[in-house]
Structure 1
Amino acid sequence: MSINFAGAYLGGLLTLFAPCAALILPSFFAYAFADRRTLISRTLWFTLGLLISLTPLGFLAGSFGALIQSYGTTLTLIIGALVIVMGVWQALALPGFSQWFKRSGSGGRGGRGRLSTRSAVTQNPQVGLVADVKLGVLRDTETAAANSATNPLAVFGLGVGYGLAGVGCSGPILGAMLALASFGGSPIMGGFLMAFYALGMATPIFLLALLWERFRLGERGWLKPTPIRVLGRATTRGGLISGIIFILLGVVLIITGGHSALPALLSPTTQVQWEQTIASVTNAVPPALFVALFVALIALIWVWRRTVRDREE
Structure 2
Amino acid sequence: MEIGLLTAFLGGMLALLSPCSALLLPAFFASTVGTKMQLLVHGAVFYLGLALTLVPFGLGLGALGSLLISERGLIIAVTAVVLVILGLAQIFGFGFDLSRMLPGATKLQESASTRTGLLRTLLLGAVGGVAGFCAGPILGAILTLAFGQSNLWNAGALLAVYGLGMVVPLVIIAALWQKMSTRARRALRGRTFTVLGREFHSTSVITGTLIVAVGALFWFTNGLVSLPSLIPTDVQVWMQERGTVLANPIVDMVAIVVLAAIALTVWGVRRRRNESATPQESAVEQSQ
TM-score by length of 2: 0.48
- The higher relative CO (CA closer than 8 Å, separation ≥ 6) is in 1
TM-score by length of 1: 0.45
